[in-house]
Structure 1
Amino acid sequence: MTKTDQVLQIARQQGVVRARDLKEKDLPPRYLSRLADRGKLRREGRGLYRHPDAPLTEHHSLALVASRYPSAVVCLLSALQFHDLTTQMSRRVWVAREKGDWTPEASPTRLEVVHMSGDSFTEGAKQYEVEGIPVKVFSPAKTVADCFKFRGKVGLSVAIEALRDYVRSSADPIEELYRFAEVCRVQTVMRPYIEATV
């Protein structure tokens, strides 16, 4: 199998390919741009390529963002969509960055960035695989707590809907809601809604 065939096979299997994916397999990264110039790969964003026949998942935009910004954590509306806890459809990918981190500008898709710090940024972040790319997404309970914390951005009705869907789905134990309400410092705001919903 030629190097070109190997690169195309990786692209077909993974969906999204980066230069570092080729380096890990001792293949020259320059093959990506060459294959894109020949129409064998599609450029999805700066440094991101996709095989035209690779299947796209409903979370393709999350894979693109995680490929470009591996330290970002999918949050709020995008995390709700990922966990099937909302009827809302966002045209942007919502990500959390640590306070003080720069805001991504050369994103392959439109972003909505919120900044968090300390436990609020680190607790509840879980890693999933989307199209072969590791993607960090906040857990369902952490996402619901974040919606109450950022209710000024997403709306209180979205937070309440997410809480109801969480309770119906039994995504995680109810105790997790209280734990993350404390992490996000929204216990006073969330408690009455949790008690009314449970």
Structure 2
Amino acid sequence: MKEVEGTLPNTFTTRTALGLGVHSRDLYAWRDDGSILELSRGVFRRADAPEPSYPDLLAVAHRSPGAVVCCVSAAAVHDLTDELPVTVQIAVPTRSRTPRIDYPPTTAFRFDEDTFEVGLSRIEAAPGESVRIYSPTRTVVDLMRLRGRLGEPLAYSALQRYLRSRSAKPGVLLDFADKLGVYGPVRRALDVASAG
């Protein structure tokens, strides 16, 4: 690995390695001897790289660069739930191809293209490496939108935690709810929360 160690990034895909002149047999030899770790099919991390905070999110972001971490996965990152997601949940635009990722287990949601970037932010999944994720505000609205599928207790609990945080922005929450077609339920939930 000496000949390319200066050029390979900490996390990389097979395509990146091949583009830098690495032969596939060398790539798999490095994996087998522990010089690199395979995070997902075709996604590798140098063994000498700093430990990632969110290795599964990093792997999925390399497999599907246009996707955005959402729903329960985003809620867990933003400390809006204690629930541990059983799959990495990502959003993809409605007209894009849904990625098939077996490991780490991944669930893709199709989100409207017109509002896909509302509340888009980034988190550092490993030192110097970020992934796309919805903001806490957008995450709460998405959980409210998908409460029939993901569960009302999760949605209302995330809303309560959000409102207790210093960074809560109820006005922005209502604006996002309006853009995403769930203004009424979010308004009612805010009214109940403020009355309690």
Partner of 2:6: 6
Give the Cα–Cα distance (whole angstroms) in 2 for the partners of residues 180 and 76 of structure 1.
15
Deviation at 1:4, TM superposition (A): 4.2
Tell me: CA distance 1:129–1:19, structure 2 relative to 1, closer, same or farther (3 Å).
farther
Deviation at 1:113, TM superposition (A): 1.3
Give the Cα–Cα distance (whole angstroms) in 1 for the partners of residues 157 and 106 of structure 2.
23
CA contact (8 A) 2:75 2:158 kept: yes
Of 177, 186, 196 in structure 1, the residue corresponding to residue 182 of structure 2 is: 186
The amino acid that maps onto 1:125 is L
Between stretches 82-91 and 53-62, larger displacement belongs to: 53-62
CA contact (8 A) 1:3 1:27 kept: no
Deviation at 1:101, TM superposition (A): 1.9
The aligned runs of 1:63-82 (5 Å cut-off) are 63-82=58-77
Q: Identify unmatched segments of 5+ residues in structure 1.
A: none
Tell me: CA distance 1:153–1:40, structure 2 relative to 1, closer, same or farther (3 Å).
same
Q: Identify unmatched segments of 5+ residues in structure 2.
A: none
The amino acid that maps onto 2:130 is P
CA contact (8 A) 2:144 2:155 kept: yes
Look up the SS of the partner of 1:6 in the other structure. coil
The aligned runs of 1:168-183 (5 Å cut-off) are 168-183=164-179
1:90 aligns with 2:85: yes
Of 139, 147, 150 in structure 2, the residue corresponding to residue 151 of structure 1 is: 147
Give the Cα–Cα distance (whole angstroms) in 2 for the partners of residues 56 and 107 of structure 1.
23
Partner of 1:39: 34
The amino acid that maps onto 1:3 is E
Give the Cα–Cα distance (whole angstroms) in 2 for the partners of residues 5 and 188 of structure 1.
54
TM-score, structure 2 as length reference: 0.86
Q: Percent identity?
A: 29
The amino acid that maps onto 2:3 is K
Partner of 1:102: 97
Give the Cα–Cα distance (whole angstroms) in 2 for the partners of residues 128 and 22 of structure 1.
25
Give the Cα–Cα distance (whole angstroms) in 1 for the partners of residues 17 and 168 of structure 2.
38
Tell me: CA distance 1:114–1:102, structure 2 relative to 1, closer, same or farther (3 Å).
same
Q: How many residues align?
A: 191
Look up the SS of the partner of 2:6 in the other structure. helix
Structure in which a larger fraction of residues adopt helix? 1
Partner of 2:108: 113
CA contact (8 A) 1:95 1:111 kept: yes
CA contact (8 A) 1:181 1:190 kept: yes
CA contact (8 A) 1:140 1:171 kept: no
Look up the SS of the partner of 2:91 in the other structure. strand
Give the Cα–Cα distance (whole angstroms) in 1 for the partners of residues 5 and 182 of structure 2.
53
Give the Cα–Cα distance (whole angstroms) in 2 for the partners of residues 69 and 144 of structure 1.
23
Deviation at 1:161, TM superposition (A): 0.5
The amino acid that maps onto 1:163 is L
Deviation at 1:55, TM superposition (A): 4.2
Look up the SS of the partner of 2:34 in the other structure. coil
TM-score, structure 1 as length reference: 0.85
